[in-house]
């Protein structure tokens, strides 16, 4: 529970707030997936074009952002994954 509270509720306790926010977000994801699946199967090219129109500009902004080899030292690497 403590990790869900850190991630979802910005709290450092063992309460249930983070779990309920997580559960609600999973319900939204499942409802969106169930709703989108028939549309995706019937009109795959439309979904592809709409996705490209929504994501494409942001993707192009970050396409050339890349860490250069040797730019980071051993001290920059975190011990936490």
Q: What is residue 27's predicted lDDT score, i.e. its pLDDT? A: 98
Q: What is the pTM of this model?
A: 0.56
Q: What is residue 81's predicted lDDT score, i.e. its pLDDT? A: 65
Distances (CA, A) of 69 to 4, 26, 72: 35, 38, 8
* Residue spans of alpha helices (H) in the chain: 2-4, 17-42, 44-62
pLDDT band (50, 70, 90) for residue 78: confident
Q: Tens of pLDDT along 32-76? A: 999 889 989 999 999 999 989 999 999 888 887 776 777 778 888
Q: Tens of pLDDT along 7-25? A: 888 888 888 999 999 999 9
Domain boundaries, the chain: 35-63
Helices 44-62, 17-42: axis angle to 10 degrees equals: 120
Q: What is residue 33's predicted lDDT score, i.e. its pLDDT? A: 92
The token duo for 22 is: 């997580």
């Amino acid at each position: 529970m403590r990790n869900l509270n850190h991630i979802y509720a910005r709290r450092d306790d063992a309460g249930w707030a983070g779990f309920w926010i997580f559960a609600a977000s999973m319900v939204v994801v499942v409802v969106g997936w169930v709703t989108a699946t028939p549309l995706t199967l019937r009109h795959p090219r439309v979904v592809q074009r709409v996705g490209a129109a929504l994501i494409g500009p942001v993707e192009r902004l970050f396409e050339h952002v890349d860490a250069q080899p040797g730019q980071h030292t051993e001290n920059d690497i975190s011990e936490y994954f």
